Chain A
Amino acid sequence: MTIDKLRAAVGWTYREREDVVERRHLRAFRHAIGEDPDDETVPPTFTACFLDEPPPMPEAEAYGLGWLNGGDRFEYHAPLRLGDVIRSRLRFQDVIEKDGKSGKMAILTFVTEFRRPDGELVVRHVGTRIRR
């Protein structure tokens, strides 16, 4: 697979998701990151649970052997609380190819906006994902 097929896939989006910040899920997440599960504050990386990871994009899976995570950015626009309903759709925004120590790698950027059903933006996430 050449980088060209990945470049041609820029703009790809995955299915729209609708998720709810559920008590049992929030407890499990807080426990998994070492926080008090009885506290109902939503941690700053919680919306990562509403991402499809690794991104299920066939053009990416056909490049290289496996995934690495390059980085994550979260922009906070409105508070996220227990019980909130959130809609999102993963979007493939950009790709560049680099020569690394172990050969070529593709660095992919995915952007996801997490919005309430009325359209209010809550969190914008930018994920840098690597195939090599």
Chain B
Amino acid sequence: MKLEVTPDLRQLVEYAGASGDFYDMHYDLDFARTLGHPDLAVHGLLKAAFLGRLVTDWLGDRGQLVWFEVSYRGMDFRDQPFTCHLEADGTAVELYGESADGRRTTLGRAEVAFHTGVDT
């Protein structure tokens, strides 16, 4: 199961506003460059939210999340495709987010609990 998104500057600004994280490196290119970044980076927590979408789409109303964690191994930048992948084995869920050049920049895991009687 996968989900492909391409966050643009508008989406980064919308996420900054909704989350309250106004760290300049996500919308001020001059600031990002002073930190050595080539472009505006996607918020780690926005990438986590994309992986979270995939988990909740997959889980539906069959159960609930017990925990969900994401580790950021590389940066992703605006206007670049970011593809989220999900593989489930029982209640254990493995996730990763892949940048356009095939790097697994974002690794995730989750544990779910199925409602009683749900066929997993």
User: A and B, one complex?
Assistant: yes
The chain A residues found within 8 Å of chain B, CB to CB, are 25, 28-29, 31-35, 41, 43-45, 48-49, 51-54, 65-76, 79, 102, 126, 128
Chain A to chain B contacts (Cβ below 8 Å), 22 pairs: A25-B18, A32-B14, A32-B18, A33-B15, A33-B53, A34-B50, A44-B56, A48-B19, A49-B19, A53-B19, A53-B20, A53-B23, A67-B23, A73-B67, A73-B69, A74-B65, A74-B69, A75-B66, A76-B64, A76-B65, A76-B68, A102-B36
What is the CB-to-nearest-CB distance from B4 to chain A, in angstroms, rounded to a whole number? 11
Chain A, interface SS category: mixed
Is B71's beta carbon under 8 Å from chain A?
Answer: yes
State which of A54, A67, A75 has its C-beta within 8 Å of the C-beta of B67. A75
Partner of B49, one of A33, A69, A76, A102: A33
Q: Give me the interface of B with A, judged by CB distance under 8 Å.
A: 5, 11, 14-15, 17-21, 23, 25, 34-36, 43-46, 48-50, 52-53, 55-56, 64-72
On whether the beta carbons of B45 and A71 are closer than 8 Å, the reply is no
Q: Of A34, A41, A69, A126, which one neighbours B45 at CB under 8 angstroms? A: A69
By the criterion CB–CB under 8 Å, are B18 and A70 in contact?
A: no
A33 to B14, CA, bound (A): 9
